[in-house]
Amino acid sequence: MKNQDNKENQEIKEISNQMQELKNEISKILVGNDDVVKWSILAVASGGNVLLEGVPGLGKTLFVNSFAKACDLKFSRIQFTPDLLPTDVIGTKIFNMKDSTFQTKKGPIFSNVILADEINRAPPKTQSSLLEAMQEKQVTIGEETYLLDKPFFVMATQNPIEQEGTYNLPEAQVDRFMFKIIVNYPSLEEEKEIMNRISTNYQYEIKKVVKKDFFEKTQKIIKDVFLDEEIQDYILEIVNKLREKNDYIEVGPSPRATIYLSIGAKANAVFDGRDYVTPDDVKEIAYNVLRHRIILSYEAMAKDVTSELVIKEAIDSIEVA
């Protein structure tokens, strides 16, 4: 039994080291926002999708591209626009006049890393073309269903400040993103570093840090991390607290919140080299899991009450044993 435990601990330490190395490599390209890099690694290592929100010019596209290169994965960038059609994303059937048959032309979604750039610029019909791929890791074109290559994950970006020419994401789609990560402005020192890089001949080629099978192996290890029943109850209390009807919450989080809080906390434990979850692991990823799963009331919006504030109040109100 001890040998088995030692083997598992060694595997966790190896995965932790690789996650740290991956974070450090991507951070060489993306100056600042180290937490964004870490949280994205946790989500993808757990088999989840990521929604990145931030104003233009913060390096979101560069980050996703660098992420794919460091993981040695096939990358596709889809620019979402109002005239983008579902078939432009998943593909379609094309009639071949030579032999009078329909042939499948696969779309850009047949890749490992999908950058859905400015996803809120396309209408809900087009956004919904990602639903099956994000959840079931497959795509249906006509009457045929195609399994997507592993690993597969979507990293979408959206601009929070523009209203004209944008569409709200359907709730069913928002719920399929494991994390919604806020990308903030860099600090003055970080912005100075960015300025110096752009104004000089600075070049850095991203190294391939992990192999393609890294994520499949990591997902199995993450699921084996010990989650005490008290931590489970703690997660359930947080989610249940946010489902209570009050002046600020219109709709609370779905059961996916519970699932992603537990898996995300386990991933955070592995990142830190541990085989067990603590309450701090839950708190670390709670905002990323919950902020897009709460629908605020009109009263909350009128009083400038944010999802983050509501989540903080819920967490602060629960005692941890």
Q: In whole angstroms, how large is the CA radius of gyration of the chain?
A: 21
- Burial classification of residue 123, based on how many CB atoms lie within 10 Å of its CB (0-12 exposed, 13-18 middle, 19 or more buried): middle
Average per-residue pLDDT in the chain? Answer: 89
Locate the DSSP E strands across 124-264: 138-141, 144-147, 153-158, 177-182, 249-251
Tell me: pLDDT of 1 over 50: no
Start-to-end CA span in the chain (Å):
29
pLDDT in tens, 13-34: 999 999 999 999 998 888 878 8
Identify the pLDDT of residue 173. 80
For residue 157, the tally of other CB atoms under 10 A from its CB is 23
- Matching CATH topology for 1-198 and 225-321? no
pLDDT in tens, 212-246: 889 999 999 999 999 999 999 999 999 999 998 88
Q: What is the arithmetic mean of pLDDT over 162-175? A: 74
pLDDT in tens, 74-122: 999 999 999 999 999 999 988 778 787 888 889 999 999 999 999 988 8
Identify the pLDDT of residue 163. 63
Task: Give the residue extent of every domain in the chain.
Answer: 1-198, 225-321
What whole-number percentage of the chain has pLDDT above 90? 57
Q: Specify the CATH superfamily of domain 225-321.
A: Magnesium chelatase subunit I, C-Terminal domain (1.10.8.80)
Identify the pLDDT of residue 162. 64
- Specify the CATH architecture of the domain 1-198: 3-Layer(aba) Sandwich (3.40)
Q: What is the arithmetic mean of pLDDT over 285-291? A: 95
- The CA distance from 22 to 183, in Å, is 19
Q: What is the arithmetic mean of pLDDT over 133-144? A: 89
Instruction: Determine what percent of the chain falls in helix, strand and coil, rounding each to the nearest 5.
Output: 50, 15, 35
